[in-house]
Amino acid sequence: MTVAKAESLKWTRTCTRCGKKMVGVASNKKLCDSCLRIRQIEHDRKKAQNNKLEVVERAKPKHAPEDSLQNDVREAERLGVSYGKYRAWKDGRIHIHG
């Protein structure tokens, strides 16, 4: 691209926010540099406020739940059988003699 053609692509625009005249800018430029910076700061603040997460406290359990697995393991040991056989017996799938 030649220098003459490159210069012909530059435009003179007026900032839509403050009215400052901008010379030699792109045809789609709407805001001057200072207004663009201000707009970006406002946008970032608004975005940060929208992204704040509310901290919700978890309800603590009133007491630890009874560990039924541990109780089943102890009962199986007391009967002298494996945990798997104990569960099958408890569910009625097999019979334990003894």
Say what the pLDDT of residue 8 is.
63
Print pLDDT tens along the chain (98 aa): 555 555 667 899 999 999 999 999 999 999 999 999 999 999 998 888 877 765 566 777 676 666 788 888 999 999 999 999 998 988 888 877 65
Distance CA 58, CA 56 (A): 6
To the question of pTM greater than 0.75 for the whole model, the response is no
Say what the pLDDT of residue 36 is.
96
Q: Answer yes or no: are the C-beta atoms of 12 and 24 closer than 8 Å.
A: yes
Say what the pLDDT of residue 98 is.
56
Provide the residue ranges of all domains of the chain, joining segments of one domain with +: 8-49
